[in-house]
Amino acid sequence: MINISTRDLRGFLALAECMHFTLAAERCRLSQPAFSQLIQRIETAAGVRLFDRSTRQVSLTPEGEIFATSARRVLDDIDASLADLRDLAVRRKGRVALAALPSLAAGPLPRVLAAYHERYPGVQIELFDMLSDRCVAMVREGRADFALTAAGPNLTEFATQPLTTEGFHLVCRRDHPLATRRTVRLGDLAGCAIIHLARSSSVRQHLDPILREVPHATTGLEVEQLPTVAALIASGLGVSLVPELTLPYFHKPDLASVRVNAPELARRILVVRRKGQSLSVPAQAMLELIEKRFSGPRQAARRDTH
């Protein structure tokens, strides 16, 4: 097996440029015998003479000329790769991709992304806003470094860590009997006509087992988009239960939101990533900013939603 180091290549190029063993050895900070052994080792590995030597001069053989061109290209590639790694280490360049629930992508995340971009303008940011299952799939497929999504049974193959916990709010028209309450309990929802998010949504999957115990009316309306939910409520077609981080979608003059006093409704938001794989330096920096943003989850959520 040929074993030539970058140090060997730099020594070869030093001689190719100086055409003098003593000067090249000094440039490489080697003794002349050690430098001569270095050149001999390269020629032995190559199986061909790379330099013609005489008592007065040194010159490259035709094969040496070819090898010099290749050696420069290899060292240039290595130097460029090391420079890229240094840039990544100090976050001057790179890419970070994250997938997040729409409530997060449209709520607290934009401020975090803006702060990250201001701090690391050379790093490309990709944000995918999608429902929980797709967020998880993006991580599985390697298209996202990590995802911010709701806790669920489909995460056993991933490494997860808690990010925040959010409560739920009842959203209704301002003329609804419950609109003036400071809080409501699940029992207060008896008889309410509830507009649901789609069954594929993490919100719906979280709510369904709990609402089975509450005698409520079913409107038959199941939609995927939060603005649609807001429009249906405003039209008097029913009420809805939504996570706290989605409340910006419901800031409308004719709608009211009331906190639901039900600990069993609290929804955990997790950071989901591939097991056994470290995040890149840019992705780790992004995650640290996000964690800092959610370090006081309840207070932070209220600042964004009121």
* pLDDT band at residue 302 under the 50/70/90 scheme: very low
pLDDT recorded at residue 116:
93
Average pLDDT over the chain reads 88
* Domain parsing of the chain, residue ranges: 6-89, 94-165+267-305, 168-265
pLDDT recorded at residue 297:
40
* pLDDT band at residue 81 under the 50/70/90 scheme: confident
Fold of 168-265: D-Maltodextrin-Binding Protein; domain 2 (3.40.190)
Give me the phi and psi of 293, to 5 degrees please. -60, -35
pLDDT recorded at residue 213:
80
CATH number of the 94-165+267-305 domain: 3.40.190.10
Which of 19-28, 73-82, 110-119, 264-273 is the least confident region?
73-82
Does the pLDDT of residue 205 top 50, yes or no? yes
Mean pLDDT value across residues 59-67? 91
- pTM of the predicted model as reported, rounded to 2 decimal places: 0.66
Does the pLDDT of residue 301 top 60, yes or no? no
Q: Return d(Cα 124, Cα 288) in angstroms, integer.
A: 17
* pLDDT band at residue 292 under the 50/70/90 scheme: very high
Per-residue HEC secondary structure of 136-203 comes to HHHHHCCCCCEEEEECCHHHCCEEEEEEEEECEEEEEECCCCCCCCCEECHHHHCCCEEEEECCCCHH
What digits encode the pLDDT tens for the residues 107-124? 889 999 999 998 888 889
pLDDT recorded at residue 300:
39
In this structure, are strands 94-100 and 146-150 parallel, antiparallel, or unpaired? parallel
Mean pLDDT value across residues 163-188? 94
Does the pLDDT of residue 99 top 70, yes or no? yes
CA 28 from chain centre, in angstroms, equals 43
For CA atoms 33, 34, 35, 41, the dihedral sign is positive
168-265 matches 94-165+267-305 in CATH topology: yes
Candidates 3.10.20.30, 1.20.58.1610, 1.10.10.10, 1.10.10.60; CATH matching 6-89: 1.10.10.10
What digits encode the pLDDT tens for the residues 248-278? 889 999 999 999 999 888 999 999 999 988 8
Question: What are the structure tokens assigned to 266, written together?
Answer: 């609290």
What digits encode the pLDDT tens for the residues 180-200? 999 999 999 888 999 998 888
pLDDT recorded at residue 90:
59
For CA atoms 183, 266, 105, 109, the dihedral sign is positive
10 Å CB burial of residue 234 (0-12, 13-18, 19+) is middle
Q: Return d(Cα 232, Cα 219) in angstroms, integer.
A: 11
pLDDT recorded at residue 3:
76
